[in-house]
Amino acid sequence: MSAERATVGLILAGGRSRRMGGGDKFLLPLGNENLLQRTRRRLAPQVERIVVSVNGNAASVAGAGLDVVEDPPGVAGRGPLGGILAGLFWAAREAGPASDVLSVPADTPFLPPDLASRLRSARRAAGAEIAVAASSGRVHFAVALWPAGLAADLVDWLGGQQSSAIHAFLAGRPVVTVDFAGPYDSLLNINAPRDLERARAVLERFAP
């Protein structure tokens, strides 16, 4: 971890899980843990603190022993950007305005152990503002390293009723993309039942 900037891990757990039939998909079991527990375990060694972003479902993570943030007023229901904004505010307050936020969805159970370090190194080398992860030919815009000081710009963006898509916000900013290739998709996101089956196959074969 960087000695220069504290890094807060932000687990995004505010989705509605429509493709999984509703409910809190991050509580689905995978092996002997649920998805949130696996995501937290793989993220924890890479950051100084972890906070979970929820959107009206705080009770679902109440027993996890994690700090929880809700979408700020006026941006509830705006998707992951609302959760990222909540995480940026929290990090600036709790870890300092010069801190970073590493955002990941709550249902990414195989996060690479060098996620934070590679994103940080790539951002520094490119002179970029934000580093975003990619795998298997897909950019994962919710898996990214953000400076906490970006909160004001994001407030302006959302307040202007701009697109709620992360990629739309990033389009006009200096961004570097880092590809995480490997024997399996370490950024596999559990969005639908078939994704959960893929994750079980990965777990059985590679035991990550």
Domain locations along the chain: 7-206
pLDDT of residue 20: 60
What pLDDT is attached to residue 1? 39
Q: Are 84 and 78 in contact (CB under 8 A)?
A: no
Q: What is the tens place of the pLDDT at every residue in 165-197?
A: 999 999 989 999 999 999 999 999 999 999 999
Q: Which residue has the tokens 């709620």?
A: 164
pLDDT over 70, % of the chain: 91
**CB 10 within 8 Å of CB 104:** yes
Average pLDDT over residues 17-27: 67
pLDDT in tens, 100-146: 999 999 999 999 999 999 999 999 999 999 999 999 999 999 999 99
Whether the pLDDT of residue 3 is over 70: the answer is no
Give me the chain's average pLDDT, please. Answer: 91
Residue 171 tokens, joined: 């389009």
In this prediction, residue 22 carries a pLDDT of 58
Amino acid at 95: A
What Å distances lie between residue 43 and 8, 66, 184, CA to CA? 10, 13, 18
What stretches of 44-188 show up as alpha helix (H) in DSSP?
80-94, 115-126, 151-159, 166-170
Q: Which CATH superfamily is domain 7-206 in?
A: Spore Coat Polysaccharide Biosynthesis Protein SpsA; Chain A (3.90.550.10)
pLDDT for residue 60 is more than 90:
no
